[in-house]
Structure 1
Amino acid sequence: MSSILSSQRMVITDLDGTLLSSDRTVSLCDLTTLKSLETQGIIRVIATGRSLYSAYRVLPKDFPIDYLVFSSGAGIVDWIRQELLLSCHLLRQEIEETTALLLQHGLDFMIHQAIPDNHHFWYHSTGQHNPDFIRRCDLYRDFASPFHESILPLEQACQFLTIEPEKNATPTYQMLKSSLPSLHVIRTTSPLDGTSSWFEIFPKSVSKASASEWLARRHRIAPANTLGLGNDYNDIEILQWAGQSFVVANAPHDLKESYPVVASHNDNGFSDAVKKWISC
């Protein structure tokens, strides 16, 4: 691949709470903006924490994007060709060590199967009050099975997910990061109840930013020629990586103190960000 960078540009947007409005739809204004980006030759990327299966529940196959970064960067799909380009997995020793840690600390967790079947998972519940955890298990009940140690050893898994009530979030996050230095722990706010904290555990190389960088190299796009848009803590790395970044008005207060703010996800925030970026 040539080392000479092109003049092409790329837009990377989060999905839930950013491009999707509260009713899980994309506004006509934002759809029009996505289509106009194509006419300008600008690469369009959605970067989401959703699995590929979950993304298909809200995005039709003819949705006007070029790439989908899913599972927080663990996988990339060429959306136009519907082709899986990249997938990353936790390996046997990482799975065993992480499982032991989560059991030791009495956490509710899920182990997701390898891509492309990572909407299937095993779940372990401590029986403590954790309604968001129960709700997610119920939401995916057709794909969820109780965890038992006989499933180990697993040769591959996409990720772990542990869910904690808001009051336990910070100490749990700090413990996971310090105890799993060779892995990547991503914190995000629950898309289900909007208050619980989700902690996703991936290989060290997995993030929305690393996947976006992979795509930028594929098209020889300089980071300076990219736009990043997000709404939550799991978007921080892409906001830091992109040449120009914005957060929507419904983002947490501390993110709005760190990045320029555009309209909310219910008020065409995506179109607002693109307009500001192009006019710079």
Structure 2
Amino acid sequence: MKPGALITDLDGTLLDANSVCSQRNLAALKALGGAGILRVAATGRSLFSARKVLSFDFPIDYLIFSSGAGVMQWARQELIFSAHLQRQEIQALIRGLQSEHLDFMIHGPIPENHCFYYQKNSKHNPDFDSRLAIYQAYAKPWQGEDLPWEQVSEILVIVPETAALARYHWLSQSWPQFQIIRATSPLDYASGWLEIFPAHISKSQTSAWLLQRYALEAKQTLAIGNDYNDQDLLAWAGLGCVVNNAPEDLRSIFTCVAHHCEDGFSEAVALWSESTGLLLS
């Protein structure tokens, strides 16, 4: 089937360790556009955060941000999709997090979802503290008072690396009405970030929604990623590739290309074009 779309993660995949897209990877993106391929970046970053690393003329067609909770048509900077949790539906969940002494952040509605309220219930969580320091201008402590929003974009729970998998399973089993997405902290590269979204939100589900607008299918898609929050996308796509800095268990499942600092993205594009007969100039 004719290739139709590229969907790539940003941090640790398309971008290098300094959050820069290399010239080789840029050239690959531009070549894909010239060949009529739909180019999509799918990131866990909020729109606010993504704009720090992507210029307005960056060669993508769409940005899927906040792990699928929002979609921006990039050139026009037009928000075409957003999804939220209603305030009343998260009350029992929040009580559950408190009873387990978990540290969490409640993010506001899109597109201002870099603003959040937080509650720290443990004594020691350096990664949580690091994120607070970065977003101190947009963060407020929360003591249980009514939130100012009728809907929120997500709840983020940050746990130590050793507790990440167990807490992911606990959340998934205890709260099946939500989508629980597990990611590795982009700050200390170890702690677990457990993101809670509406059930229909993930990178793969939002990608499928976007591709339907172009009459494209998953099997026409190349997906490239590096972490657990990319796993559903990688499994959904016609070809799923991980860069060599991905966790070992992901490298054993998906096609592995070079490290993200060694242009693994462009290597994946070359593999895909060769296997599908896509001509890139």
For Structure 1 versus Structure 2, the TM-score category normalised by the shorter chain is over 0.9
Look up the match of 2:42.
47
Cα deviation per residue 1:109-155 (whole Å; 9 max; x = unaligned)? 00000101100000101242110000001100010000121134842
1:1-280 equivalence runs, <5 A: 7=2, 9-152=4-147, 154-280=149-275
Change in 2 beyond 3 A, CA 1:274/1:102: same
TM-score normalised over the length of structure 2: 0.96
Q: Name the count of aligned residue pairs.
A: 275
8 A contact 2:208–2:217 mirrored in 1:
no
Structure 1 pair 8–278 and aligned structure 2 pair: CA distance change class (3 A): closer
Moved more, 148-157 or 182-191: 148-157
CA change 1:178–1:153 in 2 (3 A) is farther
SS in 2 for 1:16: helix
Q: Is the 8 A contact 1:190 1:198 kept in 2?
A: yes
Identity %: 49
AA in 1 matched with 2:208:
E
Contact kept, 8 Å, 1:95 with 1:157, in 2: the verdict is no
Q: Distance in 2 between matches of 1:147 and 1:175?
A: 24
* 1:88/1:73 CA distance change after superposition, 3 Å: same
Structure 1: runs of 5+ lacking an equivalent: 1-5
Q: Aligned partners of 1:154, 1:103: CA distance in 2, in Å?
A: 20
Amino acid at match of 2:4: R
Q: Distance in 1 between matches of 2:127 and 2:202?
A: 24
Secondary structure of the structure 2 residue equivalent to 1:151: coil
Would you say the 8 A contact 1:73–1:208 is kept in 2?
yes
C-alpha distance in structure 1 between counterparts of 2:195 and 2:126, whole Å:
18
Distance 2:253 2:51 in 1: 32
Distance 1:153 1:82 in 2: 26
Contact 2:102 2:122 in 1 (8 A): no
Distance in 2 (CA, whole Å) between partners of 1:116 and 1:215 is 18
CA distance in structure 2 between the partners assigned to 1:53 and 1:154 by the alignment: 18
The letter of the residue matching 1:25 is V
For residues 153 and 116 of structure 1, the distance between their equivalents in structure 2, rounded to whole angstroms, comes to 15
Residue identity in the other structure for 1:218: R
Letter in 2 for 1:276: L
Aligned to 1:3: none
Partner of 2:278: none
For structure 2, the residue ranges without an aligned partner over 5 or more in a row are 276-281
Task: State the AA in 1 paired with 2:250.
Answer: L
- SS of match in other structure, 1:247: strand
* Paired residue secondary structure (1:123): strand
Give the Cα separation in 2 of the matches to 1:182 and 1:154.
Answer: 21
Report if the CA contact (8 A) 1:8-1:41 is conserved.
no
